[in-house]
Amino acid sequence: MHFFSIFVVAVLCAISCMTVMAKNVDTAETITHLQRQYTELEGFAADFEQTLKHKESGTVEKRKGTLLFQKPFLVRWTTGKPHHETLVITDREIWDYLPDEELAYRYPLSMVQDSRNIIQVITGQAALTQDFDVMADGEEENFIRLKLYPREPGPQIVEALIWTDKAGGYIRRAEITDFYGNKNEVRFTSFNSQKSFKANDFSFTPPKGIEVEDHTKKEKQVRQLFK
C-alpha cells in the first residue's frame, strides 16, 4: 500500500511537471525567434525521413530523401525506395518526375504558394501569424513543439505539429494532418544552413523518352505533392 501511494504521487508529480513545462513555453517569443531565423536564412540542405499514415486503411509508408531549399522559393525534393521521385520547384514552374513510371508532371507555381502546404511549413516559409492560430504544445528533449491550426482549413492541412530546435530555432520535424485524418510526417536527420548550391540544383529537364503531362494551364493537380 505504501509503495502504491508513492507511485501515485510520482505519477501526479510527473503530470504536473509536464503541464508546467507546456505552459512555460512562450509562444509569441518562439514564433518571433523562428521567423527571425528564417528571415536571415538564405537556404539549406537536409536529409529527411518521411512517414505517411493512411487513416482508413491503416497502412504506413516510410521513405528517405534529401531536400534542398533556396530563397525566394526554390526546392529540390528527392526520395528513394520504395517510390523514387524528384520534385523541383523552379522560378517558373513545378516538375514532379516519377522515373519508375517514366512520367513527369508539370504544374504552375500557384500549386505551392499557399501557406497550408507541407513544403511551405517545413521550409519555414508559411505565414504562421497570418494564416494560423498557433499554440504551444510543450517541450521534447531539445525541441519546442507548436500546434498550428489554419484559420481557413483546406484539404491538405487541418492541423500541424512542428518541432523547432531550441539552439538553432529551425524546424526539424513536422507532422501534417489532412482533411481525411491522414498524417504526413517529415523529420530532418541532418540540416545544413550553410550549404552552397550549383546552378542546376533547381532546374529540371525531362529525360528523353519519358511522357510529360503539362498541367500549367489547367492548374489540375493529378497527385498530391510531397507525399
Q: Judge contact between 147 and 134, C-beta under 8 A.
A: yes
pLDDT, mean of residues 152-162: 91
**Cα separation values, 199 from 95, 118, 209, Å:** 17, 25, 24
Residue type, 188: F
Look up the pTM and report it: 0.85
Q: Helix, strand, or coil here: 197?
A: coil
Angle CA(67)–CA(43)–CA(94) in degrees, nearest 5?
55
Q: Which of 77, 53, 83 is nearest to 177 (CA)?
A: 53
Unique residue bearing C-alpha cell 507541407 = 118
CA-wise closest residue to 120 among 150, 79, 81: 150
Computed over every residue of the chain, the mean pLDDT equals: 87
Residues 91-107 have pLDDT tens digits of: 999 999 999 999 999 99
pLDDT in tens, 55-97: 999 999 999 999 999 999 999 999 998 889 999 999 999 999 9
Question: What domains lie within the chain, and their CATH numbers?
Answer: 26-214 (2.50.20.10)
Average pLDDT rounded to a whole number, residues 43-55? 96
Quick one: pLDDT at residue 5?
A: 45
70 or 156: which leads in pLDDT: 70
